[in-house]
Amino acid sequence: MKKWLLSVVLFSFFCGMVNADEASIADELSKVIPGIKKEQVSKTPVDGLFQVIVGARVIYVSADGRYIIQGEMVDLVNRTNMTETALKLARRSELAKIDEKSMIIFPAKEQKHTITIFSDIDCGYCRKLHAKIDSYTDAGMTVRYLFFPRSGPNTESYFKAVSVWCAKDRNQALTDAKLNNTVVNKTCDNPIDEHMRLAQAFGVTGTPAIIADDGTMVPGFVPAKELAKHLGW
């Protein structure tokens, strides 16, 4: 649903809700976005403005329901991006729903942190990152790969992802595909579409997209040492 259309529809539901609270907002929102619960709605420090977590996204709703706001809320006194704080929690929650059996994992020798990477086999920077995979695992980062072929479903990059997933040794097949441009065509039941839906829910537009274990999203290729420094590890 287009953002502007979502706002118009929500407006039609909320008009007149002057004394809205978390429960009433969740109840009305659920008519438009199935599954919204009271626990996904919370008050903000701004009177009359509520925060709503929708999957891995954050929106804000005025108490009377007239306005939907999509953007960042920043506390200038505490220098805190409140929206990013909420997004970190949302990302962690959504990733927790994904079974690790549907990921390709390169474990750290001595795990200190976990990073989840949305990756495209045909992405140059994804290949550059994978060429340095040992530097991440040596630094204590377990790397969990999810596929996000940027060209979309039923494209060459998509079918490469399927073939890698269906290989007997997925880790080796991924390395061969990225570093040697070698892919053995295979088909089987696979989670590629699920990975792509999650990437879209996260707002991923480019690869690699790195999600730290605290929910921070870091776009692009970042060497292991710089990533650890950026994340305060």
Could you give the residue numbers annotated as active site? 120, 123, 126, 150
- Residue matched to tokens 């939907």: 68
* Cα–Cα dist 215/8, whole Å: 31
User: In DSSP terms, which residues pair with 136 in a beta bridge?
Assistant: none
User: In DSSP terms, which residues pair with 21 in a beta bridge?
Assistant: none
- Residue matched to tokens 């976005």: 33
Tokens (6 digits) for 213: 């274990």
What 3-state class would DSSP assign to 55?
coil
Q: Which of 30, 85, 81 shows the shortest CA–CA distance to 40?
A: 30
- Residue matched to tokens 């805190």: 80
Tokens (6 digits) for 153: 């479903």
